[in-house]
Amino acid sequence: MCGISGIIYRDNRSPDLQEIKMITDLITHRGPDDEGFFLGPQFAFGLRRLAILDLSPDGHQPMWRGEELCIIFNGEIYNYIEIREELSQAGYSFRTGTDTEVILAAYDHWGLDCVTRFNGMWSFAIYDRRKQLIFCSRDRFGIKPFYYAKVGDRFIFGSEIKQILPFLTSVKANVPVLMNYLACALEDCNSDTFFQGVLKLGASHNLVYDLRTHDLDIKPYFKLTLDPGVGELSELETSRLYRSELERSVRLRLRSDVKVGVALSGGLDSSSISAIASRIYREQSRLPLSAITILSTDPDTNEEAYARQVVQHCGLDWHTLMADNHAYDDHIERTIRNLEEPFGSPSILLQHMVYHRAREAGCIVMLGGQGGDETLLGYDRYFPAYLMSLPLRRKWSGFRESLRSSQLSALQMLGYCGYFLSGSLRLRHIRRKCSFFRDPFMDLIDTDLLKTLAANNCDIVKLQIQELTSSQLPHLLKYEDRNSMSNSVESRLPFLDYKLVQTALSINNNFKIKDGWTKSTLRRGCDDILPSEIAWRTRKICFDGPESDWLKDRKAIHAVLAESRILGEITNKIPNPIADPLLLWRLYNVARWETVFQVGS
C-alpha cells in the first residue's frame, strides 16, 4: 500500500526532480516506510511506501522488470500467489515476495488484459519503454484513488488531489458538483471532482498515455454481470454459497506480513467479518484478532453492547475509544484536509478516529465491512425497490413484514416509496428544502441523474449496480481510503471482492430481502457463527456519532456560513434555523472546505 505521483511533460522537456519530490512529499502519510523516484525521458514517477508484503528493501519502488518495464503501485493484489505460480509455470522467475513484481510480470505476459486476472484493489502506472507508453489502471470498484489533470504543458496524476492543486493557476470550485452535493446530497457520481480541472479515473478503467503523441485513451475493462446459476439455487444453497465465498474473500485479505485488525461497529457486516477473520487469523498466527470500536457518549447511538457480544463470542483483542464533542473539534479541520472534498456527515470523522486508534494499536492492516449494505440491500431506503419487485398479491404482506423488521413507521415507509420512486417528487422536495439557493444555481442540479435514480429503484439489480458504481459506494470508498491512509493504515474490504459482489447480485431477488429482513442471505449464512441478537438485529445505527450535540451551537455555525464567499454567491440569506441538520452540515462543510483549501467560485 502506497501513494503514487506522476508528472508527464507534454513539451518533451527533461523532468524536474524537485517537482516530483514536492508532490510526493505531500502524501508521506500514505507511505512512511520508504520513498523512491524515477526520472524518465519526459516524465517522472514518485512513490511513498507503506510496507505490507515483503518488508525488506526488495519491495522498493519504483520497481523494474529488466530495463523495459517500471511500475509505481498503490494497493494489494490478493491473489498474487496464485498468479505468480501460473507465471512461474510459463517461465517467469521472481526475486521478491511482493505483489508489485507479479503485476509487472503479468503485464509483460498478458499486456493490458492483465488487470482482468487481478483480485484486489489498485491504482498503478507502468512505464513501457518498448512501446513508449504509460499504462495506468484503477481497480474494479475504485477502492484505490487515481486523480489527474492537464495543466499547461504538464499531465499530472497522483493518489490525492492535493498533489495537483499546486499546479493550478487558481483553485476554483466545480459549481455543478457542489450543487449536487449541497441540494441533493450526491457525491462522486462521475469523473468530476469538487475542484475545477481535476478529474478522477473511473473505477474499472484503464488509462494509456502515449509518450510520443501525448494522446491518452481511457477505456473500461470490467462490467458487473450476473451468474444465472446462482439465481436458480434454493435459499439454503444460496446462503451456504455466499458464506463460502465470503470466507474465501476474508482468507485472501488476511495475507499480510504485518499485524491485521478489524473495524468492529457491532453491526451485522463488521461482526460477520470479525467472526470469520478471527477464526482464520488464530489458526494462522495463534493470536487473537484485534478489534477497534468507537463508542458514543449518546446512548441512542452507542453500539458498545452489540460490539461487546461479538468480542466475547469471537475472543477478540478489543480496543475502544470514545467520541465526544472535544474529539469532533480536534478532528474536523484535519479530516477536511485529509478528505480534500466536502463529505456527507459528521459521522465520517469517527472513521478517522478509528484508524488513528488502529495505528496506535499496531494494526497496519484493517478489515472493514464497507460494501455489505450496497451489495446485500442493507439500508431502509432499499425497501421501495423490494416492494416494487413483489407481485401485486404480496405487496401488502410485504409492506407489513418490512415494518416489523425495520425502524420505519408506516408513514415513513410510504414517504420513502414516494421519494425514491419518483424523480419529480424528489426534485420538488429538494427545491422546497433548498428554496434559499439562487435559481441559476439550482438549475445546475443534475435532474437526469435524479430521474435515473428513481427509475433504478424500480429494479433491484439495477439499483444495486447503481449504488455500487455511482450513487453510494464511490464516496464511501473515498472516505475509507483517506481516513485509513492519513493514519498510515491499509483498509481491506472483503465484501468488495469482485467474485463475491457478482454472487450477491446474482442471488434470487426473493432472497435478497426475505419476509422483510434486509441482508437475509448474510443473516442466514452467518447465524451459526454470531450471537442471534447480532445476526437478526433490526436496529441499524450506521456508525453515527452524537451529531445533534455537534451541531447544537447554531450561532457559531452560522457565523462560519456568513464568512463563506461561495455560499454568499449561490444563496440568498441562509435561514436560521435550518430544519434539516445534514443540510446544515453540508453548508458548514463547504464553508470550512473553502477556507482550508482557499477555494474560489
Contact 481, 488 (CB under 8 A): no
Looking at residue 431, what is its pLDDT?
95
Contact 528, 537 (CB under 8 A): no
How many other CB atoms are found less than 10 A from the CB of residue 13?
A: 10
Is residue 540 pLDDT above 90, yes or no? no
Name 413's Cβ contacts closer than 8 Å, sequence gap at least 6.
383, 399, 402, 403, 406
* 458 a catalytic residue: no
What is the Cα–Cα distance from 549 to 426, expressed in whole angstroms?
29
Is residue 164 pLDDT above 80, yes or no? yes
Stretch(es) of the chain classified as CATH 3.40.50.620:
228-376+472-535
φ, ψ at 366 (rounded to 5°): -130, 130
Q: Where do the DSSP E strands lie in 368-521?
A: 490-492
Q: Torsion over CA of 77, 83, 88 and 90, rounded to 10 degrees?
A: -130
Q: Which range among 113-117, 418-422, 423-427, 554-558 has the greatest average pLDDT?
A: 113-117
DSSP 115-183: GGG--EEEEEEEEETTTTEEEEEE-TT--S--EEEEETTEEEEESSGGGTGGGSSS-BB-HHHHHHHHH
In this prediction, residue 537 has a pLDDT band, given cuts at 50, 70 and 90, of confident
Contact 256, 289 (CB under 8 A): no
How far does CA 492 lie from the centroid of its chain?
Answer: 10
Positive or negative, the Cα torsion across 361, 364, 365, 369?
A: positive
Contact 474, 144 (CB under 8 A): no
Stretch(es) of the chain classified as CATH 3.60.20.10:
2-173+189-220
What number is the average pLDDT over the span 136-164? Answer: 98
- Helix 392-405 with 410-421: angle, nearest 10 deg: 120
Is residue 507 pLDDT above 90, yes or no? yes
Positive or negative, the Cα torsion across 344, 346, 350, 355?
A: positive
In this prediction, residue 323 has a pLDDT band, given cuts at 50, 70 and 90, of confident
What is the Cα–Cα distance from 148 to 155, expressed in whole angstroms?
7
Right CATH number for 228-376+472-535 from 3.40.50.620, 3.40.1400.10, 3.40.50.80, 3.30.70.260?
A: 3.40.50.620
Is residue 316 pLDDT above 70, yes or no? yes
What is the Cα–Cα distance from 43 to 16, expressed in whole angstroms?
9
How far does CA 387 lie from the centroid of its chain?
Answer: 28
Is residue 426 pLDDT above 80, yes or no? yes
Contact 165, 152 (CB under 8 A): no
Which cell goes with 556? Answer: 457559531
Catalytic residue among 2, 70, 417, 526: 2
Runs of H (alpha helix) within 486-580: 498-506, 509-512, 520-526, 532-535, 547-550, 554-562, 565-570
Looking at residue 546, what is its pLDDT?
52
Does domain 2-173+189-220 fall into CATH 3.30.1280.10? no
If you count them, how many residues does the chain have?
601
The helix (H) or strand (E) run that includes residue 251 is: helix 235-253
Give the whole-number percent of the chain exceeding pLDDT 90.
Answer: 81
Residue 577: asked if its preceding bond is cis (omega within 30°), the reply is: yes
pTM for this structure?
A: 0.95
Q: What is the pLDDT of residues 577-600, one digit of tens each?
A: 888 889 999 999 999 999 999 998
Looking at residue 248, what is its pLDDT?
98
What is the Cα–Cα distance from 145 to 160, expressed in whole angstroms?
7
Which cell goes with 143? Answer: 477502492
> Which long-range contacts (C-beta less than 8 Å, at least 24 apart) are formed by 31-35?
31/1, 31/2, 31/3, 31/488, 32/488, 34/59, 34/60, 34/61
Question: Helix, strand or coil for residue 316?
Answer: coil
DSSP category for residue 286: S
Site of grid cell 419487485: 389
Contact 12, 468 (CB under 8 A): no
